[in-house]
Amino acid sequence: MLHARLEAVYNDIVRRNRGETEFHQAVQEVLESIGPALDKHPEYAEHKIVERICEPERMVTFRVPWEDDRGEVHVNRGFRVEFNSALGPYKGGLRFHPSVYQGIVKFLGFEQIFKNALTGLPIGGGKGGADFDPKGRSDREIMRFCQSFMTELHRHIGEHTDVPAGDIGVGGREIGYLFGQYKRITNRYETGVLTGKHLSFGGAEVRTEATGYGCAYFVREMLAARGESFEGKQVVVSGSGNVATYGMEKVHQLGGTVVACSDSTGYVYDENGIDVGLVKQIKEVERERISAYADRRPGSKFVERGAVWEVPCQVAMPSATQNELTAEDAATLIANGCMAVGEGANMPATPEAIQVFREAGVAFGPGKAANAGGVATSALEMQQNASRETWSFERTERRLEAIMKDLHDRCYATAEEYGVPGDYVAGANIAGFTSVADTTLRLGLI
């Protein structure tokens, strides 16, 4: 339920942002938690802090024309929402996917504000992307699209202003093309303007692994808070992209056994533990469907169009896309013995599913906390770029592990402070919100 002071605020946000259902959902999820913070800090209401944080500082929408290999011209739409810079330059990824529209970008940017605040690093919140589908496109088509996209985007970004990174559909290849065009247009070698870069031009070790590794570390801390560990636990992970793949890798290193993963066609089950090396070969090198795993791995099976959540497990890590895990899925997981859930993707569990988990006492790590490892390591990449340094894999991973532990402890302590012990949703929302709110007050009416 919304706090009495926030109901009118939320209704006004829905009215002024019509049709943007994902953004409405993200805002409601935060507002449902922060009522106690408003009671404790009446100055937030007096200075309209909630209203100011829920309104983007700037939104850019632009045309992206490009030509395919057959000479046919296409026109896509590009977006960048520079949502909040109270704590630092806007920071958040670019998503290339047909589903991208203003509401998706705003939901992701809004989540990014609090996720970035929870890291304790000096970065604000932003997000961007385009309704372009990279699937089935040649490298040259991807390059031409990225060059056209950056031709407009370069006007709005910079290492002290707005620092994009990758997201769904935007990996190292795309970041390379984007940076190349930025350098070409500006005549400046500003490696700090993008993160997720290749190591040869300012990238950071662990950046590829960071979101998945960070999610596994966060889940480890949730389990430890209950006197448990990954040892002997069966784990199910949705997706088979970067987040899922490296989440699985770290879970195995921490003693758990991932028995299932998925893509949009279905899931694979391997009772002996998913062979992460084979998943990398299939998805990163060959760019094939996950069904190819079952063809090559004896004893595994592929379930077409199946829900990966039907596989019994003690830990679940939804790591594909928003609203993929429903209340029905949550009930199935609980019935099969699930005790902890860590969101590797952004908002992958529906509000109804989250409520089911919370009422059942399942340790639930929301995405703004559990998947913050990616943006945390992006901030570490920015530090290295600013000082012209390159850190080792081991040093960077140690920093990531420490950040995720501190982040967990902050969420846990905030939940206790506000009378909801063990509620990581409330802890994350309140801790992130108060960090941004307090700084917003100090900066004056801007």
> What's the burial of 118, exposed, middle or buried (CB within 10 Å: 0-12/13-18/19+)?
buried
Q: In what order do the strands lie in the sheet with 58-67?
A: 58-67, 73-84, 125-130, 90-96, 162-165
Could you tell me which of 323, 290, 283, 328 has the C-alpha nearest to residue 309? 328
Distance in angstroms (rounded) separating the CA atoms of residues 148 and 316 = 39
Distance in angstroms (rounded) separating the CA atoms of residues 45 and 278 = 53
What tokens appear for 229 in the block? 């560990």
Q: What is the CA radius of gyration of the chain?
A: 21
342 in a known ligand binding site: no
DSSP tag of 268: E
Could you tell me which of 50, 65, 49, 57 has the C-alpha nearest to residue 84? 57
Q: Is 127 a catalytic residue?
A: yes
Which of 106, 127, 250, 283 is the catalytic position?
127
Amino acid at 233: K
SS (H, E, C) 130-158: ECCCCCCCCHHHHHHHHHHHHHHHCCCCE
91 in a known ligand binding site: yes
128 in a known ligand binding site: no
115 in a known ligand binding site: yes
Torsion angles phi and psi, residue 343, rounded to 5: -80, 110
Under 8 Å between Cβ of 87 and 112 = no
377 in a known ligand binding site: no
378 in a known ligand binding site: yes
Under 8 Å between Cβ of 97 and 169 = yes
Under 8 Å between Cβ of 249 and 276 = yes
Q: Which residues are annotated as a binding site?
A: 91, 112, 115, 166, 211, 242, 378
Q: Which residues are annotated as a binding site for substrate?
A: 91, 112, 115, 166, 378
- Catalytic residue numbers, as ranges: 127
Q: Which residues are annotated as a binding site for NAD(+)?
A: 211, 242
